[in-house]
């Protein structure tokens, strides 16, 4: 294993994923007997944030001494208290480029696959999310997660070669 691979295998990263709930409501309307009643989406309730707390459910995946923590520069991650926690002894912090349009490393393999997995699933509440999410995480092996993270050096090299241009694929 070369130096880059050893560095990448020490990385811990995270992000959040928005899961859209199906909030269609039936609305009174005139229709023929053979037609379905009209439905409307209730605005404001479609996107509810469900945070995936892997560190609580899988403590062995939580950050350990000597790991490299990769974080983005969103507001909550740049507060003084957050910085103090991130810079504890033996934590190496790898900052995500400010205002970068590129997704965090966790989004490459994880969120695209999760979105595809949930695409045909109707979720009406947070409780409706639990079983499909558990099924997704149980069915993915270690190689699935490792494969996405190990592509990072190639992605970083591409971004440098493109003078920081948005990363669309690799």
Q: What is the pTM (predicted TM-score) of this model?
A: 0.55
pLDDT greater at residue 151 or residue 80: 151
* Range with the poorest average pLDDT among 8-12, 19-23, 96-100, 132-136: 96-100
What SS3 state is found at 24?
strand
Q: According to the model, what pLDDT value does residue 158 have?
A: 80
Q: According to the model, what pLDDT value does residue 59 have?
A: 54
CA–CA distance, 114 with 140 (Å, rounded to integer)? 10
Q: What is the mean pLDDT of residues 71-95?
A: 63
Can you give the three-state secondary structure of 110-139, one letter per residue? HHHHHHHHHCCCCCCCHHHHHHHHHHHHHH
Q: Give percent of the chain above pLDDT 70.
A: 45
Q: According to the model, what pLDDT value does residue 167 have?
A: 60
What SS3 state is found at 132?
helix
Q: According to the model, what pLDDT value does residue 108 have?
A: 61
């Amino acid at each position: 294993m070369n130096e880059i691979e050893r560095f990448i295998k020490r990385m811990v990263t995270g992000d959040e994923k928005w899961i859209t709930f199906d909030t269609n409501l039936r609305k009174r309307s005139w229709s023929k007997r053979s037609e379905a009643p009209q439905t409307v989406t209730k605005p404001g309730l479609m996107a509810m944030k469900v945070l995936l707390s892997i560190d609580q459910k899988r403590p062995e995946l939580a950050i350990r001494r000597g790991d490299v923590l990769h974080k983005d520069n969103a507001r909550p991650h740049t507060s003084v208290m957050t910085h103090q926690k991130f810079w504890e002894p033996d934590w190496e912090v790898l900052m995500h480029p400010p205002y970068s349009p590129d997704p965090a490393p966790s989004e490459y393999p994880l969120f695209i696959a999760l979105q595809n997995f949930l695409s045909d699933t109707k979720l009406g509440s947070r409780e409706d999310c639990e079983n499909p999410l558990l099924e997704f995480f149980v069915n993915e092996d270690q190689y699935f997660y490792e494969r996405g993270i190990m592509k990072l050096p190639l992605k970083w090299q591409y971004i440098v070669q493109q003078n920081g241009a948005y990363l669309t694929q690799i």
